[in-house]
Amino acid sequence: MVAMTSVPFRGGAIDLSALKPAPPAPAGAVWWVEADDASFESHLALSMQHPLVVELWSPRAPGAAQLSADLKELANAAQGAYLLVRVNVDEAPTIAQALQVTAVPMVVGVVAGQLAPMFQGTTDKAQAKAVIDQLVMLAQQNGLSGRAQPILSPDAEAAAGPDPRFEAADAALERGDFAGAVEEFDKLLAANPADAEASAGKAQASLMVRLQGANPADVQAAAEADPADVDAQMAMADLEVASGRLEPAFARLVEAVRLNAGVERDRARTRLLELFETVGNADPAVLEARRDLMSALF
């Protein structure tokens, strides 16, 4: 066993009772994911919502298989307190180079985009859990209280069909009844306000409702006429998001926040947050716009 490196966390006993209870997970759900050079950055963006534990491993490393099994079990038992991101360094040399990996297995934490060294080499399950618990507490102390979304295991995903929860909403979307879809998503959210998929679905359906009957030329003219006109900027941002132009959409609403005060400022901020939900909070454009929004607000 390779000795664990010191971990830069302060504090004594770890109390995880402050964590929000996890909603029931779908059958076959796991809280670990395989990443490669192409997907790692998108997973890294999730550290702005909840902690990540990154396992850098190789099938050639002695003892790696047992450590991997232990880390998967711990991640599943934590039920979303963090997400385990597994990287085979033999297949992802760019990540290994960026993280300056000199030997594997190596485990690091990521909190709000910042790396937190955890340990290198193999260790037993109890020691690994103790270090991970410290990472989770560090995230809590820094206001990072989100939970990782469950992921269907490869076998479960292959066997799963359409989610029956969304049957009515999907039917409404297929027939073009976007307002009806919003109502169906509202029913799901009334039953479970923490349903992230329903929340995202409602945001997307709401965007389609707002776009109905919009004349792009008129919307653009109104937006260009007055950058402080919140209604005009929101309408233009809707069109831009719908056409995939995320950066200008978010930038115009951030500017509307800067130029307004009181109720109008809050309306612009609320619409921007709703568009973040529509796009997905892990999108790099959303992460950048969140930083800009914080600057505009404070």
The predicted-structure confidence for 159-179, as pLDDT tens digits, reads as follows: 555 678 889 998 998 888 999
Token pair of 97, please?
A: 């180079």
Q: What's the pLDDT score for residue 38?
A: 83
* pLDDT exceeds 90 at position 51: yes
User: What average pLDDT does the segment 228-247 reach?
Assistant: 93
Cα of 108 vs its chain's centroid, Å = 19
Residue 209 pLDDT level (bands cut at 50, 70, 90):
very high
**pTM, to two decimals:** 0.51
Q: What's the pLDDT score for residue 27?
A: 61
Complete DSSP assignment for the chain: -PPPPP-----SS---TTSPPPPPPPTTEESEEEE-TTTHHHHHHGGGTS-EEEEEE-TTSTTHHHHHHHHHHHHHHHTTSSEEEEEETTT-HHHHHHTT--SSSEEEEEETTEEEEEEES---HHHHHHHHHHHHHHHHHTT----PPPEE-HHHHHH----GGGHHHHHHHHTT-HHHHHHHHHHHHHH-TT-HHHHHHHHHHHHHHHHTT--HHHHHHHHHH-TT-HHHHHHHHHHHHHTT-HHHHHHHHHHHHHH--HHHHHHHHHHHHHHHHHH-TTSHHHHHHHHHHHHHH-
Q: What's the pLDDT score for residue 1?
A: 30
* pLDDT exceeds 50 at position 4: no
Residue 183 pLDDT level (bands cut at 50, 70, 90):
very high
161-166-167-170 Cα dihedral, nearest 10 degrees: -110
110 beta partners: 52, 115
Residue 71 pLDDT level (bands cut at 50, 70, 90):
very high
Ordered by start, the domain boundaries in the chain are: 29-154, 162-212, 214-298
* pLDDT exceeds 90 at position 11: no
Residue 18 pLDDT level (bands cut at 50, 70, 90):
very low
User: What average pLDDT does the segment 259-287 reach?
Assistant: 90
The predicted-structure confidence for 269-282, as pLDDT tens digits, reads as follows: 999 999 998 888 77
119 beta partners: 107
In angstroms, the CA 154 to CA 82 distance is 19
35 beta partners: 87
Q: Is 56 in contact with 87 (CB distance < 8 Å)?
A: yes
% of residues, the chain, pLDDT over 90: 49
* pLDDT exceeds 80 at position 252: yes
CATH dotted code for 29-154: 3.40.30.10
Residue 66 pLDDT level (bands cut at 50, 70, 90):
very high
In degrees and rounded to multiples of 5, residue 10 shows phi and psi of -100, 165
The predicted-structure confidence for 106-161, as pLDDT tens digits, reads as follows: 999 999 888 999 999 999 999 999 999 999 998 888 777 788 888 876 555 555 55
Comparing 9 with 204, the larger pLDDT belongs to: 204
Comparing 80 with 196, the larger pLDDT belongs to: 80
Q: What's the pLDDT score for residue 225?
A: 96
Closest CA to 131 of 266, 8, 293: 8
Residue 218 pLDDT level (bands cut at 50, 70, 90):
very high
Signed CA dihedral, 141, 48, 28, 123: sign only: negative
Token pair of 264, please?
A: 């109008």
User: CA angle 168-173-177, nearest 5°?
Assistant: 95
Fold held by 214-298 = 1.25.40
User: CA angle 116-119-125, nearest 5°?
Assistant: 120
Query: Whole-number mean pLDDT of the chain?
Result: 84
CB atoms within 10 A of CB 199: 18
In angstroms, the CA 67 to CA 125 distance is 7
Residue 247 pLDDT level (bands cut at 50, 70, 90):
very high
